[in-house]
Structure 1
């Protein structure tokens, strides 16, 4: 079963937030531009739903074929108006719909929490192989963890959202990670952004978390081995370079079709 955490976009709330934001750039937006922002958020919400539905179908098929649900749960989020405007200002970009479309690729985000590392790569591969999806960018922090120990597979997809004006390919950032990777990342995020500890304590906890990341990785490898032995679900077969090359080639092939 997939437990989805998140709520649908509230256009009235978005409109209200845009109208009350303390931004000199935003104050210059016309009523028409404000409506465009609200409409754009609805498109991103539609894109998230498209990806979510595809993931739910894949999870159900895995259960039918292999008696195993690879997805533990999913979390969806749409950037708040404050966060979106702030990111545009930090990049010194104009506060326009076009700026968002051209430069911000994580407005819509889905976090897919899987049970095992094999599940991460199986689900991401099957999703990436679907003909109506474009792979725009791949960052594999599982095979190449960040220095602080962070592990996750980040893929930015473009998925068509069908409106009255036709299909609009819209980016959605999907983060694939295991349960262990997720609760580690949640604690690290809390330590980094939501704590006011002295620098010495912060450095101490950061080092401990790095040690924990290594330990969790070892535990996951052992548990994955047991799961492989008792389950008939798809396993990760490719080498690191082959997997990344496969995803990158998909993106290049799909972009080529789009330009033809």
Structure 2
């Protein structure tokens, strides 16, 4: 498998104070199975969909306990260079580039509007072994209250081309690497309470959106939005029992015409 092109989402993980609880929840909702915890790397535990690595869960490091959240990693051939571009364009490097054995190198950063994300320079771990199949990652969106800053930042740090979705109801952009759309950007409106920080929302594929929502809420998850039909599939936004936000998408159940887009700066 070739390494992912620069700027393409390539991995997702989350810290959970109750890792066993997270494994049980996502195992039920997304059908994940889990590998052995790697004690050498803080009990990092990979999740699998049909035998393919699709994400990971890990307990927080001492002193880093707090709100659980999914972290999306964007691919880069040079994590140190990416860190420099983050700083040069008004972002903040939260964790300096760090070598993770022969797996690769990672960093954590925050864009000028407050969106936290990761960067992954692949070694032997190239990222997702599957995408777009049940249980696997399929899409992500940057939710920000300051789209101008966010757009300028991400297009300076990564080789993104941007297209504006022509929809009067929402301010939504699509970032592409080459001809492939890899990331969305949504402006947060008044429907988001002020205490909700800007964030990256990760979508996982499911065979049946409504059934996944039912399993999630039965297990203590909270339905935040939907289920709703769209040209991209039927989706819903959720929070797991430990507060980590994520979305589920049934890509087979589409409705409506694809929205038009126009090139944007």
- Give me the TM-score of the superposition, normalised by structure 1: 0.34
Q: Which has the larger radius of gyration?
A: 1
Q: Which has the higher helix share?
A: 1
Q: Which has the higher contact order (CA 8 A, sep 6+)?
A: 1
Q: Which has the higher strand share?
A: 2
